[in-house]
Amino acid sequence: MLAAGAERGLRLMGTTELAGWGRYPRVGCELATLRREDELCQRLGASTLIARGNGRSYGDAALNPELTLSMLAMDRLLSFDAEQGLLECEAGVLLRDLLALYAPRGWFPPVVPGTAEVTVGGMVAADVHGKNHHGDGSFGSHVESFRLATGSGDILTCSRDRNPDLFRATVGGMGLTGVVLSVRFRLCRIESEYVRAETLGTADLDATMATLAASNDWRYSVAWIDPSAKGSILGRGLVTRGDFATDATAASRPTPASRRQLPSPALLSVGLNQASIRMFDALYHRVGRFRSGLRPVHYRSFFFPLDRVRGWNRLYGRRGFVQYQCVLPVAQSSRGLRAILEHVASSGHLAYLGVLKFFGRQGEGLLSFPMSGYTLALDFPMRSGTVDLLDSLDEITASHGGRVYLAKDACCRPDHLREGYANLESFAEVRRAAMNGCEFSSVMSRRLGL
């Protein structure tokens, strides 16, 4: 059976209070760091565990009170085929490190999420999407294969040809099928580190959605929407779209030195109040209007604007926050999004940072989040009533044929999950077989009855 502990093997680090990026919920977990593959297969006491990357999933996905296995020390590069851009690395390698190493050489990951602080293993487990989902799909689509330690202690190579069921269950499977040890995936060629981007202001939800849909020829597109807007301006936003620059002017720009990280302002750490949220949005709108027109932006600012503010998740105060992200099928999107935004506006809760994005195709994983349609993400500071609010949003999402993103979720109910994810049964079947000897589970999987 899959095991940790014992002499020379994994050593438990004792109970540590852990949380996701939203800092809600916080759970005392036995923590151990995996440093080498062979440590995992030795005898152990724990009969249940979950692998954890850099803790960037927002909710309770990477928490297991019995054993949470940190993968951060599994950070070695294994091979790189410069002909095909095929990279193999251990699961704990940070996207940030890959970017620092490969972007200057003209290679870029096929899909990057909104932060570079994630691990490659986490990108597989959440089947992350980026601003190019409409064209390129999610990260899993670019994964050639990965090696997975299952409950029996066997290490299986999974690809579309080998152990294809396990491949599909693990991509987007939130770590519930085993421990991803290494991943082989394709990088893309870029000609410069700059993205030629433009930002367009949109007056209401219809305009925002239409502009996003009309941006499908652009490789990258996303909209920030003003979650405090109501009535006729409901869903107004800023659509940003871009492509990697190919022309010499942009290519010859120097790589900016890694920018100083801004510490999150201490003043705000008591929690964002309503006024500051409104101010932020008003400001963002003004900035947006000034910045229209194509201009080259370094990829770090384009893809990871929030990474500049170290620990921005602390801005929401001690109780943390949740990010609600759902996707609705195209036909239902307009009505569903309107219902969600109206519900939020009338609830008295203020959302901060609304993000809207048009998704292309369904992800390959059995629990992949993306489906063809629009996805909306909203941040809510955690306070009394937030859980109820999210529950009613889940209700709206489910009734419009949508689903929530597990990497962000902390509150969803099992019945809402079942309505959104059609492949839960086949997932459970593959997972049961993979768990033979060790249960891969998290606070999330228990909450959701997975």
Partner 1 sequence: MALVLGATGDIGRAVARRLGRDGWQLQLAARDGQRLEAEARDLRLRGISVETHPCDVLSEDAGVSLLDALSATPDVAVCTVGVLGDQSAASDDWRTAERLMRTNYNGPALLMGELANRFEQRGSGVLVGISSIAGERGRGTNYTYGSAKSGFTAFLSGLRNRLWRSGVHVVTVKPGYVRTRMTDHLDLPGLLTVDPDQVADRIAVAIRRSQDVVHVGRLWRGVSLVLRTIPERLFKRMSLP
For partner 1, the binding residues (CB under 8 A) are: 11-14, 32-33, 35-36, 73, 76-80, 101
* H or E, element range at 345: helix 330-347
CA dihedral 276, 341, 130, 242 (to 10 degrees): -80
- Cβ contact 131:370 at 8 Å: no
CB of 92 or CB of 288, closer to partner 1: 92
> How many whole angstroms separate alpha carbon 243 and alpha carbon 71?
33
Cα–Cα nearest to 119, from 167, 155, 71 = 71
Biggest alpha carbon distance in the chain?
66
> How many whole angstroms separate alpha carbon 65 and alpha carbon 441?
10
- E-only strand ranges, 45-142: 48-52, 68-70, 77-81, 86-90, 107-108
Burial class (CB in 10 A: 0-12, 13-18, 19+), 38: exposed
CB of 164 or CB of 311, closer to partner 1: 311
Closest distance of CB 345 from partner 1, Å: 41
Closest distance of CB 74 from partner 1, Å: 11
CB of 39 or CB of 394, closer to partner 1: 39
> How many whole angstroms separate alpha carbon 310 and alpha carbon 181?
28
Closest distance of CB 77 from partner 1, Å: 4
Closest distance of CB 157 from partner 1, Å: 18
Question: What is the Cα Rg of the chain in Å?
Answer: 21
Burial class (CB in 10 A: 0-12, 13-18, 19+), 384: exposed
Burial class (CB in 10 A: 0-12, 13-18, 19+), 254: exposed
CB of 9 or CB of 151, closer to partner 1: 9
Closest distance of CB 182 from partner 1, Å: 11
CB of 105 or CB of 318, closer to partner 1: 105
Closest distance of CB 312 from partner 1, Å: 21
Closest distance of CB 10 from partner 1, Å: 8
SS3 assignment, position 11: coil
Closest distance of CB 213 from partner 1, Å: 41
CB of 104 or CB of 385, closer to partner 1: 104
CB of 77 or CB of 188, closer to partner 1: 77
CB of 101 or CB of 213, closer to partner 1: 101
